[in-house]
A and B are shown apart, each in its own frame.
Chain A
Amino acid sequence: MDHLQKLEAHSVYILREAYREFKSLSMLWSIGKDSTVLLWLTRKAFFGHVPFPLIHIDTAFKVPEMIAYRNELCLKYRINLIVGQNTEALANNETFPGGLDRLACCKKLKTEALVNTLSGAWGRQRLDFETGALVPDKSREAFTGVIAGVRADEEGSRSKERVFSARDEKSEWDTASQPPELWNQYKTEFAPGTHVRIHPLLDWTELNIWEYIERENIPVIPLYFNQGDGRRYRSLGCWPCTKPVESEARTVTEIIDELKSGKFRNIAERSGREQDKEGGGTLEALRKDGYM
């Protein structure tokens, strides 16, 4: 087996452990390349099926093509999609741009929205297969197991993550006292009130993700490719904080070349994200409170 086959097998194993052990499981889906690979691995693990809902936290600041792509894909494969949003913060203009700085905005629109969407404390919407529209979700089920596509090579605090990472009642991450993981045995037993983040992609690098997309021929959102203006997105997020990079890459193969030997060989992926730059350890602080 080559390294991509090993990575795939390991991630599939993790997804199956999660599915067996958690009665109430969901998967965070950001529409980006990592979570699209995660979705593909899910269909690998469950032989074409996606046996749990995808959750998208819509900050209302996403690049618009992302939302259209999201709905189209979920309708095509009939995947249950749940959408959560901090409607109050949006109504009160507690955003960036608006009244808040970038990090405070992340906390409001992402962390708070995520925590309250998962717990069922806030109303949610789901995609209706018949009409293609979002409708209020009647269920207030709390999700105790949440699969997320974070990778260890993205930034420092993520390199310290566990595959099955316990969060307490307040969704906080205790970095100094994480449960042990021995071999392929993970924390799948948990006290009432805890919930667990499951990270099947920790060992993947950005390059691995693109190599796998190429090998499996996985459709990804066209924003990643240069459409003729010499720019493309390397990482997708909210438009006020995520900028496209200068790049001529029009295909997956060209992206791989760029990462392997070209201009991005030595440049960190999230260098286009403004919120990572505001002081040391800030993403760790966000993550301790429940940020992805």
Chain B
Amino acid sequence: MSNQAQSSSGLTRRTLLKAGSAAAGAVALGGCLSSDDGTDSGGADVSKAFSNCWMCSHNCGQEVTVVDGSVVNITGVDGHPRGSAGPGTEGTLCPKGLAQQDKTHDPKRVKEPHIRKDGELQKVSWDEAFEYTADRLVSFADEYGAETFLDATSWAETSIFRTIWRDLYGSPERISRGIHVCAGPTFVTGGMMGVGSNNRVPDYQNSDYIIAWGRNQLNSFAGQFEAKGTLEAIENRGATLVTIDPQHTITAEKSDKWLPIEPRTDGALALAMANVIIEEELYDEDFVENYTYGFDAYREAAADMPPEDAAEITGIPAEDIREVARGFAEAAPRAGISVWTGTAQMGNGWKATQNITALNGLVGNIDRPGGLRLWEYPGTASFGQVCEQDYTNRAEFREPALKKYDEYSDYPVRHIEGIAHNLVPEMVDNGHINGIVVHHDDPLKDGNADEWVEAIEEMALVISIDAYWNGVSRNADIVLPEATSLEKDTLGTGNWSAYPKHKWVTGGKAAVEPQWNTKPDFDILTGIASAMAEKTDNDDWRIFEQWDSHEEFIDDQLSTLDLTLEELSSGEKNYELVEEYDYEKWKDNDNFVFRFDLDQVGSFAQAAEEAGMDTAPEWIPPGTYGDSTSDEYPLEFYDVRSVFFSHGSNQPHERLRDHFAKRNDLNEEDYRGNYLHLNPKDAEPRGIETGDMVQVESESGSGELMAHVTENARPGFVTAEYGFGETSATPDGEGMNTMTLHDKQMDPITGQVDRHIAVDVKPAGGD
């Protein structure tokens, strides 16, 4: 079906759409609208605009149809680097991306700025909100010190968050997604081993052998190109797809082979694969000899893990381990491993990802077609390059509290990271963090929820920049309502994509005016800056005044590519492939070395020693750093993603929640929260049936949600989608905040939240 875009008749796919000019489209839409409301709206004002989707922050291109100021349809952009499978293929939007249409006009959004007066959040004008924010920031700095203000701003359509909170306000404390709550071990080991933090996204389309390792990339993707690229490789190249996952997912369903692994034993499986590959001399000797470091230590660790031993640990038969090891090595270098959160969100995640990443070096699939790609960003201008004004960088020589104070000397993570999500409540108790700004995120569902809820209450200043009411905004002192990406000028500068040899940019101008009294994040931040300039009499805060609008700032960023936002988003598409780059960059890079053993990385060596682990690959059993199941808590819990939601910010959307319920065949129930997926073998003895409300309990917390009994679930292993329940943005808080079960379990090296928790489950209200 690769020819579907070029049907001889010219009828299929977008040609129909493209045939209609905007003006003709107006007539067609007018006609359609008239059938809806009975009035003739033939004269409706119809326009088309582009945006890039930030529902999960991965920039799939969006084409937006607007009638009389409302978004009436939204679809993908053909050939888009993140939203399509590449040149000549359809661009689409996943359910989350489609929901941006609903989000923009959602009456549940925060519609006005609010500040807390007499204990209550009250509506105020933007001017008053900005002035109040500046007042509070100034008095906070006087009383507690700006360095104790935590920047918890997440995905943004503008890059100036860092300039505001770090450079100008002066806080070295920064926590975001990524390393802390997403896939710290994956990102950080990749960097230390020499392949960068993009070691998680292979060159799908060109691959002959794809391993989805703890990933469900056909349903839980970082840009739709992942799902599409995988399907293309299967269809066009006859690629083999192998999924390693305790759960049966749609990716497992489409796989040639699914290895239903015992949770948290991925490190043993990876070592056993290395054992086979080394023993059978299937590895890339030239690459190992000339471009790697520490092979002997790796060889020893692998020798200790014959497939038969790994079979005991992982529950995967030795012959399956051999088959996959051989298949992967023989297809190399056109063999890619896709990893992300699944192998990272566990206490022994560091070694699991180190062992998995090592396999890439072993077979030499580094930066080769179909293997692990060393992705590159386009050369847009940085803030420093386009800023024509000087300012004093106030955070530059300030050390984060975790590194500075003795209180944290027991945490090895302090050698690697400046902060860890789970440690924030403790830092609040110690007075090392006293305030927070949160943007488009809900840290209360990312780890030790109960402690975080208390910490937010304790903090002296809480600023929320968000589109919805959630656990942070409801408890904030200042709430600044943010526009959706369809209401903003946007610029995305990607790296990994459906174009493995091109850097690219994507962007668009606001499709509609900000609805109600909301503002794009750029305008919110520059509003705060101007108020700070007035309040402090410090002209450093005036640096943003050199740009009249976000579009001007974006144009400055694009100037190095000789592009403007207008050029980028007029015409048939809203992306540009800007520079080409080649494979095998390490060949002419004398500094490149792939490290199997990390003993040369001083910070890691120190952290590893304190954590009691080796610097080379090794097998670390589950429970060493996290939970172990017991008689009291015999089930292993893990929280998962679904294609309908991204980090809780889409959960207010009825349409997505309804489809999520349909997907689980539970739409007849009134309940619209998350589900506890469990195997009949665990459900039956407990008297639990699909549709029952159940209580999940761990040593430190509990919660209630609806049971979904399914053979997709591994016996002994129960899962639920995260981001629901208490503190979430769903209007009724339905479902369970999975992190109320959590008690600071983490990977000791990166501080990554470990989401495997020992639990028991019983019918709600029962004994």
A and B from one complex:
no
